[in-house]
Amino acid sequence: MDEQRRTMPRLGEPVPAFEAMTTRGRIRFPGDYKGKWVILFSHPADFTPICTTEVLTFGARTERFRALNCELVGLSVDSRNSHIAWLRTIRDRIEYRGMRGVRVEFPIIDDVGMKVASLYGMIQPGESETAAVRAVFFIDPTGVLRAMICYPLALGRNFDEIERVLIGLQTIDAFRIALPADWRPGDDVIVPMKGDDGEKQPEGVTCCDWFFCTKPLPKEEVERKIGKGVPVGA
């Protein structure tokens, strides 16, 4: 296994570009998604139970992600025909947590040759030489990688956390703030450090010490700015 197959893209840098066939036709990535956020995620294989629950869940939440100006792009190291047959089975036969009859409308990349999986470091030899781990890449509207989460083959993803990360990144950009541990829309946010003790902070800012200052950011403000009025968070 060469080093290129082990290396993932770096945070804060443009993601690798590629062209690929998908269940929705050929795409040029990330060029076709300029101006939108993208969640690029990988699966070990089609017709496997954990992957099925995840694709079903992404399918059921597609419109919610689109309301946040985010498109979904999946990947599995199987063929386009296999993907299409799998998606048909999900729609016609699979029920999970009350979700059934779900039509998956986002593209899933045909990556039999593992070209894209290798380009993005999704092949982790310690897990498998031939299957992509459950990677999630959060890519901003300029094509820059902003966050990523990796899961082992046997552990399904937490979709509430995926949505929280997306909303958090958009909130950071929109309000030029930082977010504390376990932040949810409506919680207080972190503001820049005070600097000199004599420097007066804006109204509404609370400082426990010179390096730790917070301020309220109502959930409604987050919804107006990034969700176009669509409810965000739990």
Residue ranges of domains in the chain, CATH in brackets = 3-157 (3.40.30.10), 168-226 (3.30.1020)
Predicted pLDDT at 148: 97
Q: Which residues contact 138 (CB under 8 A, 6 or more apart)?
A: 37, 38, 39, 145, 146, 147, 148, 165, 166, 169
CA–CA–CA angle 24, 138, 111 (5° rounding):
40
- Mean pLDDT per block of 10 residues along the chain (234 residues) reads 64 97 98 97 94 97 95 95 98 97 97 93 77 91 97 92 97 95 96 64 84 94 80 66
Say if strands 70-76 and 37-43 run parallel, antiparallel, or are unpaired: parallel
Predicted pLDDT at 233: 64
Predicted pLDDT at 123: 83
Say if strands 212-215 and 206-209 run parallel, antiparallel, or are unpaired: antiparallel
| Token pair of 138 as six digits | 């959060």
Predicted pLDDT at 201: 66
CA distance linking residue 135 with residue 121, whole number of Å? 9
Q: Which residue has the tokens 């958090």?
A: 168
Is 213 in the active site?
no
Predicted pLDDT at 232: 75
